[in-house]
Structure 1
Amino acid sequence: MYTIMAIKLSPRTKIAPTVQEILTKYGCIIKVRLGLHEASTDDCSTTGLILLELLSAEKEQIVKLSEELNSLEYVTAKLLEL
């Protein structure tokens, strides 16, 4: 089974340091992390998307991570199990 979390940050620059602290706290259950945002030489998007693959066996920690992220203003986290 794969446990994927999608995290939307908007505005990204305002909340990213706080999100980084939370992700560091739960770093042991994060197998893969991919950060995406639109960027060009003229503009840098204020919206960001982080995709995580999490250790499926760590259900309690995953719930805590999701709750902490969703408690933040400007952050939305959703889980997908495949």
Structure 2
Amino acid sequence: MKQDICIAGLLINEKSQQAPQVQQVLSKYGKLILHRSGIPYSDCDRGLINVTMKASEEELQNFKAELNRIGGVKVESLCLIDDADELNTCETR
């Protein structure tokens, strides 16, 4: 199955209420996550999470759909490399 390298950005409103559900989804897809970083906005009860993933189109869409079903969560993504196997190919000069 072809996997892409993608970045997903999550905006979490009502972080104190939504964080457990968001963490559950992140853990479920943990094997696909290469990197995760977060920025808390505690004064506003919000948070931002950036996730870099190696995932198929279907896996990415399922990940986003599960997160978007959580109230107060918005997810956007972009793919940097259409086929992660390209990272393993080096050109010699």
TM range, smaller chain: 0.7 to 0.9
Q: RMSD of the alignment, in Å?
A: 1.5
Identity %: 29
Cα distance between partner residues in 2 of 1:76 and 1:38 = 15
The structure that has the greater radius of gyration is 2
Which residue does the alignment assign to 1:48?
47
State the shift of 1:59 in Å.
Answer: 1.7
State the shift of 1:80 in Å.
Answer: 1.6
Gaps (5+ residues) in structure 1? none
State the shift of 1:31 in Å.
Answer: 0.4
Runs of 4+ displaced beyond 3 Å: none
1:29 pairs with 2:29: no
Where do residues 3-82 of structure 1 align in structure 2 (5 Å cutoff)? 3-38=6-41, 44-56=43-55, 58-82=56-80
Gaps (5+ residues) in structure 2? 81-93
Higher helix share: 2
TM-score (norm 1): 0.84
TM-score (norm 2): 0.75
Cα distance between partner residues in 2 of 1:72 and 1:31 = 23
Provide, for residues 20-49 of structure 1, a one-character-per-residue CA deviation record: whole Å limited to 9, x for no partner. 00110000111000011135xxxx440100
State the shift of 1:5 in Å.
Answer: 0.2
